[in-house]
Amino acid sequence: MVMRRSWKFPVFLGFLSLLLAQEKGVQKPVQDQSAASFSFDPKKDEPTIRIENVAYEVIDTIPGRPADERLVLRKTSRSKYIIGDIGFEATTTVEAWLLGTDMKQKPLYSVTQTGNDCRTVDGALLVFARGTEEVNWWSVHQSGTGRHLFDTVVPLLAFSTSRETLTQRYAGLEVPEDDAKDARLKEPHVVGVITYASGEGVIREALLTSDDPKQAAELRSFADESWTMSYTARSLRIVFTQNSPSPANPLTVTIPVTRDDLDLARAQLPPHVHIAAWKR
């Protein structure tokens, strides 16, 4: 009896493991191919270049998904350049499947944004480069769900809030355009929105405003202002600088990060500028 049990038990475990693996879809080989392309049409009035590129990536340790899951991402970018024009037309699509899933099946999600590139950050985020004209900006999405988190006019800032353990956090600054979809951001005193997030989602949003509508307009001007963001001494630091030929006249906003949140009460602000918690 003992020998029969010792023979059957590992066979049963092996069979169970096979069933579980098949349920996760990792037993069958998977192959997918997508062609890149380039074309140039030298029309006399508007010579046009078209480029299509496809890239694949496998990510793991994805916030919000089981620890043993991996996703296959297919990134397809399509661009159109008219020689002599400022800017270009472009879209990037990211589709995601569980590793081992037939990629002819419907993806877990599909996200399309304007822009010609998308990169992953820490396996947690998708960062779409949206600038197709004179201003660079980015849209940040969750890699596990494709859900949009926030937009930023500064490159996504990634940092750890702890020296002892890796506590990865992210931040960005959104400066609204005149035609912002959220009517609240069209208010003349608005400067922008600062976002503090983890891979799981947004932790805090803060609205910057100015008592002086003229100052607010200058600080959010895409033509006349540049913005930088850094993390130092356990604080977020945002610097607003006027573009040449105007004097730089930098203005700095410093926000301490305390207990994994923006400490708005202790923020250091330029004259006339205020900060308050805000939600979309």
The pLDDT of residue 132: 63
Contacts of 64 (CB under 8 A, 6+ apart): 142, 144, 145, 199, 200
- Decide which of 72, 93, 116 is a domain's last residue: 116
Judge whether 152 lies within some domain: yes
Judge whether 77 lies within some domain: yes
**Residue bearing tokens 């355009």:** 177
The rounded average pLDDT for each run of 10 residues, N- to C-terminus, in the chain (280 residues) is 36 39 58 86 84 95 90 95 84 96 95 94 95 84 96 96 86 92 94 97 98 96 95 96 93 97 98 96
Number of domains making up the chain: 2
- Find the domain containing 272 and state its range: 147-280
The pLDDT of residue 22: 44
Instruction: Indicate the DSSP class of residue 251.
Output: E
Question: Are 170 and 262 found together in one domain?
Answer: yes
The pLDDT of residue 221: 94
Joined tokens for residue 231: 């993390």
The pLDDT of residue 12: 37
CB 219 within 8 A of CB 193: no
